[in-house]
Chains A and B, each alone.
Chain A
């Protein structure tokens, strides 16, 4: 559905996109994750034809997005990270205006608008002024607007931003429904927990480059090292901490009572090596296990690779004498 190769965008001296590659299959619900300034919005704006890149290629459903912008706009539905509504228009008029922007007029436009308003739960709000809608309703109206021309790829930039948990949940269900109907959705967000549950595929971007891309399962499996190792110490906590702090593969440590949570960037073999080293150092261990990984851990690890190792917290209870 979407194929991006070596995408570049420069603002002055700042490289917003630095050779970004992306592949989205038909019917995917793709989560596009990255910290602020990573290049998410720039990428979405280029895909939707609102910005031109300084290099690279974008292909949407076989259409060269940079050379065939008119065809592209038939295929794309764009929901930006703001509402963009006309307060002095009624909901139905707002929909009909955008329908006419896509060349739909009269009865066809009215029917399509009404169907979509009902689909997003705004069927009874057609005669309301947009001004009077709540934030969640405006977001759903924007979604309905983007679907007017039946696009094959829906682009959504931070759609959950500013929504309350209930509205966010409802919105997520709407997206799931759309995806179940066969629509490919590209969703940018920083709410990783939401994405992990919702998306079929994830791309992690930072500094204008794609760091990792694939299905959620693939990523969590591939990044075994992102899963923290939980070490339950029975005796000799000081020796364990001393060894872990100096260990080259340990990225972060947090301690609670007698449990040490270690961000260990080694393989399974190196993991067993760590256990052996701890035992050799005289640490008595009653538990050593990898915690199930999550997307947030992957994201944090990938976007903080160069940071110095930090001990997040260390609550050593000397009184315990362990």
Chain B
């Protein structure tokens, strides 16, 4: 089918642009960020007047603050936006109508995901002028900002795919939202918790059995469980920010939080590896959503 713009994406964008909600969210979100940034600058200027000393680190803190706020919003709002996308169509009884046209399940899923991601990315990009305030004092380059944007896009893709997948698998939006948040909780907190638990057991007297069961792992570490964190977008973000802020390396952070691990390709290229894995998982989640929308034999709900 020769279509320049995905019809679902086009419709979603038309409806959201018509709504006052998006404009209000943009205003409130950027308003808060701008207020925080200006207060930060004001306090620093006040400090300079008193001490005649410029603390450049404070500007970097502002950058970190904005980036962290945006990331939290991305990871925790994206599932909410996407979890009702397909189940909402089902509840409105418009999904079958779309599926009875030449639209494929893949086009529907991608249209929904792209529309949700566009909204989130619009929010993020709209806040970049505030991030760019840091350029006045230096310390962060354009390359760093682009890298941060890549990290955000991958996190949005991951969280969005998870939401869309749950939305396709569950009939009701409420249920799919709960499932999306549950899955996101497992990915973010679960992988961290497993590593902390493994570290705890391995640091117990004579308790290196977990480590010994995992090849190539040093004593007093979370062992191979560390690699579970590759699927965790929060970990990817933290590693990116550490690099940008120049406050440590991935290996150093891992040692500090999860014990000493041997250096290898993954630990040296943590951000790249985790981005690749999260994109791959997002693709699997999208494929699962597409599968859920395809007509099936043998089971399903009785109609008439």
Residue of A nearest to B6 (CB): A100
CB distance from A22 to the nearest CB of B (A): 16
Q: Which of chain A's residues 17-42 have a Cβ closer than 8 Å to chain B?
A: 36-42
Residue of B nearest to A40 (CB): B304
**Interface of chain B, main secondary structure:** loop
User: Is there contact, CB below 8 Å, between A84 and B94?
Assistant: yes
Q: Which residues of the other chain, A, contact B18 by a CB distance below 8 angstroms?
A: 88
- Within 8 Å of chain B (Cβ to Cβ): is A78? yes
User: Is there contact, CB below 8 Å, between B94 and A51?
Assistant: no
Q: Which of chain A's residues 32-56 have a Cβ closer than 8 Å to chain B?
A: 36-42, 45, 48-54
Q: Which residues of the other chain, B, contact A40 by a CB distance below 8 angstroms?
A: 304
User: Is there contact, CB below 8 Å, between A49 and B100?
Assistant: yes
- Within 8 Å of chain B (Cβ to Cβ): is A128? no
- Within 8 Å of chain A (Cβ to Cβ): is B25? no
Q: Chain A interface: which of B69-77, B179-187, B250-258, B292-300?
A: B292-300
The residue that A100 contacts in the complex, of B10, B19, B296, with Cβ under 8 A, is B10
Q: Which residues of the other chain, B, contact A74 by a CB distance below 8 angstroms?
A: 102
Residue of A nearest to B7 (CB): A100
CB distance from B5 to the nearest CB of A (A): 8
Residue of B nearest to A53 (CB): B297
User: Is there contact, CB below 8 Å, between B100 and A103?
Assistant: no
- Within 8 Å of chain A (Cβ to Cβ): is B204? no
Measured as residues with beta carbon below 8 angstroms from the partner, the interface class of chain A is: 35 or more
The residue that A50 contacts in the complex, of B10, B93, B94, B295, with Cβ under 8 A, is B295
Q: Which residues of the other chain, A, contact B304 by a CB distance below 8 angstroms?
A: 16, 36-42
Best-buried of A74, A89, A100 by chain B (most CB within 10 Å): A100
**In the complex, A36 Cα to B303 Cα: how many Å?**
10
The residue that A73 contacts in the complex, of B2, B102, B300, with Cβ under 8 A, is B102
Q: Which residues of the other chain, A, contact B96 by a CB distance below 8 angstroms?
A: 45, 50, 78, 80, 84
User: Is there contact, CB below 8 Å, between A97 and B92?
Assistant: no
Q: Which of chain B's residues 242-276 have a Cβ closer than 8 Å to chain A?
A: none
Q: Which of chain B's residues 3-41 have a Cβ closer than 8 Å to chain A?
A: 3-5, 7, 10-11, 14-15, 18-19
**In the complex, A54 Cα to B300 Cα: how many Å?**
12
5 closest Cβ pairs, A-B complex: A41-B304, A101-B101, A100-B7, A41-B303, A11-B302
Known pairs A100-B10, A102-B101 / 13 extra A-B pairs, C-beta < 8 Å: A16-B302, A40-B304, A41-B304, A42-B303, A50-B99, A52-B296, A78-B100, A85-B92, A93-B14, A98-B97, A101-B102, A149-B101, A149-B102
| B contact set with A: CB distance below 8 Å | 1-5, 7, 10-11, 14-15, 18-19, 92-94, 96-103, 295-304
| A contact set with B: CB distance below 8 Å | 10-12, 14, 16, 36-42, 45, 48-54, 70, 73-74, 76, 78, 80, 82-86, 88-89, 93, 97-98, 100-103, 105, 145, 149
